[in-house]
Amino acid sequence: MRRTERYPVVGSNSLWHIYKTVPFWKVMKNFIVIQLGRYSPSLPFKNLLYRRFLHMRVGDETSFALMVMPDVMFPERITIGRNSIIGYNTTILAHEYLIDEYRIGNVEIGDRVLIGANSTILPGVQIGDDAIVSAATLVHKDVPAGSFVGGNPMKIIYTAEEMTMRRLNQ
């Protein structure tokens, strides 16, 4: 179960009233920072941008690949540990806007985590240390530390124990 806080809305859908739920200037500022980060060739500069202007927690030496897309509304809900890799064009969502409510949830990614390209991470999930998320995965639930997951819907491909055995047998 993903951990999200739910806010019901009345009348038209929650996205139609977006700037009642998050200030216009905040979305604009976040969008500009995210676009700079998406195309910046310097990894340390991206981390500085994300920490300073999006208020994301990003550990040392964590690497964002080209065109990563952090949440444009609530990026401050995203925490990533140290020495992790977030792959090309990964989408990290901290919100979901539904017809009759919207939900906000923290995304917590551990240390030495690898997220493959084109993955989508939903609000309210935790990804444990040393986990490997395959490319194009929909991360719609927690990922156990050390495991290798992938697919849509996401499945555990190898548990942490199986990954340890595979490394020993190499």
Cβ atoms < 10 Å from Cβ of 46:
23
Cβ atoms < 10 Å from Cβ of 136:
16
Q: What is the DSSP letter of 12?
A: S
Cβ-contact 84, 110 below 8 angstroms: yes
Q: Does residue number 66 form part of the binding site for a second copy (CB under 8 A)?
A: yes
Closer residue to a second copy, CB minimum distance, 130 or 142: 130
Question: Which range, of 48-56, 62-70, 141-149, 158-166, touches a second copy by CB under 8 A?
Answer: 62-70
Q: Does residue number 164 form part of the binding site for a second copy (CB under 8 A)?
A: no
Rounded Cα distance between 94 and 82, Å, is 20
CA torsion through residues 42, 43, 48, 53, sign: positive
Q: Which of 22, 48, 65, 156 binds a second copy (CB under 8 A)?
A: 65
Query: Which amino acid, 18?
Result: I
Rounded Cα distance between 78 and 70, Å, is 8
Residue 132, beta-bridge partner list: 114, 148
Question: Which range, of 22-30, 50-58, 141-149, 158-166, touches a second copy by CB under 8 A?
Answer: 22-30
Binding mask 68-107 for a second copy (x = CB under 8 A): -x--x----------xxx--xx-x-x--xxxx--------
Largest CA distance in the chain: 59
Number of residues that bind a second copy (CB under 8 A): 48
Closer residue to a second copy, CB minimum distance, 48 or 138: 138
Q: Which chain residues interact with a second copy by CB under 8 A?
A: 12-16, 18, 24, 27-28, 31, 41, 43, 61, 63, 65-66, 69, 72, 83-85, 88-89, 91, 93, 96-99, 112, 114, 116-118, 120, 122, 130, 132, 134-138, 140, 150-153
